[in-house]
Amino acid sequence: FRISVQACWVVDVGSEAANVTVTVAMSLDRDGNVDSNSLKLLASEGGSENATKTAFQAARRAILRCQKDGYKLPVEKYDHWRDIEITFNPEEMRTR
């Protein structure tokens, strides 16, 4: 799941948001589709309030853009992945 989302995550390297780490929570249905109303910012680190909002919106777009027809997750483990938290850390992305 994390690898799929990171492939769609675009961070503007020159912006203040590129220094903000955000943790996002979401709920998925059994088909691996994200409930867009469930996307919430749980925590952030670094940057101003505006930079945090920008970083959260970039994370939100990545999650929704990458799902296509739903994330391919094992249905038998739905109880484990129904509610997910994912941290977007630009520093880790730069080291790849």
Encode pLDDT of 26-43 as tens digits.
Answer: 999 999 999 999 999 999
Tokens linked to 86: 């994912």
pLDDT, tens only, 41-87? 999 999 899 999 999 999 999 999 999 889 999 999 999 999 999 99
User: Can you tell me whether residue 15 is helix, strand or coil?
Assistant: coil
DSSP string, 21-88: EEEEEEEB-TTS-B-GGG-EEEEEESS-HHHHHHHHHHHHHHHHHHTTT-----GGGHHHHSEEEEEE
> Residue 80 contacts by C-beta under 8 Å, 6 or more apart in sequence?
none
Q: Which of 83, 87, 84, 85 is nearest to 22 (CA)?
A: 87
Q: How many CA atoms lie within 13 A of 48 on its CB side?
A: 4
pLDDT, tens only, 6-19? 888 887 778 889 89
Does this model's pTM top 0.85? My answer is: yes
